């Protein structure tokens, strides 16, 4: 069976600039893991990373027609309003190559399989949840003929006539060490570098996350052994431009003495490699003993999931971490010279102005609004609601969610407090404009230039706009209509542009 694995192109969304719909980040290794398992099972598997090559959907479709393969397996990523264009490309390919099975996998198709199969006849099957074992079994049965024996493969959905059929959910792989290390070609190395996935799943139960639902009902966090992780790192390091590893785990630490002992063993393994590394974790999940060991081993970067400093908001999110623990985690990281990046959701469906005030005061008190790339993110970020997240189901039952796409995947909600909506809409417009500039290498406030004078001025101004508007809303001094929103937005953007132009003049 000759299988082509496609990482498809994505089109940038203007409305959702800087929003991420394909969490967890471990998804960037999915194609590599699938390719490695297929090859180990004797299948001829190759990877076409059209996303990493930065080509268009049209170019991708043309190149697919020039390749010889029996099955096209697509890691399907939701890219907002442009997602239907992917299925148009696949439909055109299918019209020219009707004998080729098209199979999808990933977070988005796992939760939207019914809609995709009912409205996109070019798709033959969709893998539900963890893909490696399911795809290997599917490849085996497809050797016997198109759509032959689908019902024998767990974790699969497909179309049969006008009906959608689905087998039972597959039990996730228990011993992750048995999986082959992910295949990495040169394009993948340039895109994801030294990314490592040391565990799958999470012990948390956040309402805004689809990680555990993706792996299946009742899924628990599963870990690779430190020895297995070390083997992969030692194989990977000679291929990297710099000795830097980033762990894509949803929560690097996990919980309980057993997991903490495992982390200490990982630190001991890494200490002898003379490298630097980073990871993602929940606030309150580590202590000084763990952090000291990791710092000695080369820890430099931490993405810290705080999400909110309002106890009421944290309760609605199912977060279960008190703001005091989040503050302690920030302080502890700084004691070891690490300034954390933040996971923070300023606005969620039930947010009140009092919740916003508590979160803003927390960010200021803990000096977390000093970097423009962080400030512009945390002051606008609103909860994204996608099918598969617990909050999607709750808001649907409450009648507060309306689908905004053809797949019933992305949901839009209204805020309980009109004043919160005003502030959220304002900061969304302003912050996204700033974030575009921070991503522009020619801009004086490009984040890669660090804390330039211009970026600090914009940072302070952005914080002031937020604080002044919040105070006026608390006092009832703003009329909550479109004219007021546009006036404040236009004034803010004009001032920000003035600060950027002023820096350009100084540099000239």
- The predicted structure's pLDDT at residue 150: 92
Burial class for 493, CB neighbours closer than 10 Å (0-12, 13-18, 19+): middle
Measured CA to CA, the distance from residue 155 to residue 389 in angstroms comes to 19
Measured CA to CA, the distance from residue 290 to residue 293 in angstroms comes to 5
- The predicted structure's pLDDT at residue 500: 83
Query: Which 8-state DSSP code applies to residue 102?
Result: E
Q: Are 420 and 347 in contact (CB under 8 A)?
A: yes
| Sequence-distant (≥ 6) Cβ neighbours of residue 436 within 8 angstroms | 17
| Sequence-distant (≥ 6) Cβ neighbours of residue 184 within 8 angstroms | 32, 192, 236, 239
All domains of the chain, ordered by start, with CATH? 2-166 (3.40.50.2300), 193-344 (3.20.20.70), 370-508 (no CATH)
Tokens of 319: 């977060």
Tokens of 80: 């907002």
Measured CA to CA, the distance from residue 273 to residue 297 in angstroms comes to 8
Handedness of CA 190, 196, 200, 202 (dihedral sign): negative
Q: Are 244 and 275 in contact (CB under 8 A)?
A: yes
HEC string for 234-257: HHHHHHCCCCEEEECCCCCCCCCH
Could you tell me the CA-to-CA distances from 318 to 50, 205, 214, 321, 332 in Å, in that order? 38, 6, 18, 9, 24
- The predicted structure's pLDDT at residue 449: 61
- The predicted structure's pLDDT at residue 146: 60
Could you tell me the CA-to-CA distances from 162 to 102, 119, 142, 431 in Å, in that order? 18, 11, 21, 46
Residues of the chain scoring pLDDT < 70: 21-26, 145-148, 449-451, 502-508
Termini Cα distance of the chain: 61
Strands 222-223 and 199-200: antiparallel
- The predicted structure's pLDDT at residue 503: 62
CA proximity to 96, closest of 55, 64, 59, 57: 64
482-507 helix and 453-474 helix, angle to the nearest 10 degrees:
160
- Give per-residue pLDDT as tens, 176-213: 999 999 999 998 888 888 999 999 999 888 999 999 99
């Amino acid at each position: 069976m000759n299988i082509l694995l496609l990482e498809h192109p994505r089109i940038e969304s203007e409305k959702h600039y800087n929003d991420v719909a394909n969490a967890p980040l471990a998804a960037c290794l999915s194609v590599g893991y699938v390719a490695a398992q297929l090859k180990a099972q004797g299948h001829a598997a190759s990877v076409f990373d059209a996303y990493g090559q930065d080509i268009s959907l049209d170019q991708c479709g043309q190149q697919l027609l020039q390749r010889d393969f029996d099955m096209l397996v697509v890691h399907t990523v939701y890219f907002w309003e442009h997602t239907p264009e992917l299925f148009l490309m696949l439909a055109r390919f299918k019209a020219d190559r009707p004998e080729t099975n098209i199979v999808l996998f990933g977070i988005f198709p796992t939760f939207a399989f019914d809609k995709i199969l009912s409205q996109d006849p070019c798709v033959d099957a969709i893998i539900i949840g963890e893909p490696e074992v399911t795809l290997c079994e599917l490849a085996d049965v497809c050797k016997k003929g198109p759509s032959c024996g689908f019902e024998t493969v767990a974790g699969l959905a497909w179309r049969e006539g006008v009906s959608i059929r689905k087998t039972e959910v597959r039990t996730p792989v228990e011993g992750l060490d048995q999986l082959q290390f992910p295949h990495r070609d040169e394009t993948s190395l340039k895109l994801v570098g030294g990314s490592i996935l040391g565990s799958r799943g999470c012990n948390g139960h956040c309402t805004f996350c689809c990680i555990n639902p993706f792996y299946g009902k009742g899924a628990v966090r599963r870990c690779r052994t430190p020895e297995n992780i070390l083997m992969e790192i030692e194989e990977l390091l000679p291929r990297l431009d710099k000795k830097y590893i980033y762990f894509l785990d949803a929560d690097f630490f996990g919980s309980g003495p057993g997991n903490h002992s495992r982390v200490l063993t990982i630190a001991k393994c890494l200490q002898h490699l003379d490298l630097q590394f980073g990871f993602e974790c929940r606030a309150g999940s580590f202590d000084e003993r763990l952090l000291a060991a990791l710092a000695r081993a080369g820890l430099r970067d931490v993405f810290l999931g705080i999400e909110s400093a309002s106890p009421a908001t944290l309760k609605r999110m199912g977060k279960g971490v008190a703001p005091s623990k989040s503050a302690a985690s920030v302080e502890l990281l700084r004691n070891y010279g690490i300034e954390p990046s933040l996971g923070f959701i300023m606005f969620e469906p039930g947010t009140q102005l009092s919740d916003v005030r508590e979160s803003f005061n927390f960010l200021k008190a803990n000096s977390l609004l000093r970097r423009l790339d962080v400030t512009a993110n945390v002051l606008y970020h609103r909860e994204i609601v996608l099918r598969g997240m617990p909050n999607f189901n709750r808001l649907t039952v409450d009648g507060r969610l309306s689908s905004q796409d053809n797949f019933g995947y992305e949901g839009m909600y209204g805020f309980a407090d009109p004043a919160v909506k005003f502030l959220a809409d304002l900061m969304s417009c302003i912050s996204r404009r700033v974030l575009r500039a921070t991503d522009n290498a020619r801009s004086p406030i490009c984040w890669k230039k660090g804390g330039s004078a211009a970026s600090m001025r914009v940072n302070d101004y952005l914080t002031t706009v937020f604080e002044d508007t919040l105070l006026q809303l608390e006092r009832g001094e703003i009329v909550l209509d479109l004219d007021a929103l546009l006036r404040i937005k236009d004034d803010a953007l004009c001032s920000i542009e003035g600060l950027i132009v002023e820096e350009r003049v100084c540099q000239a």
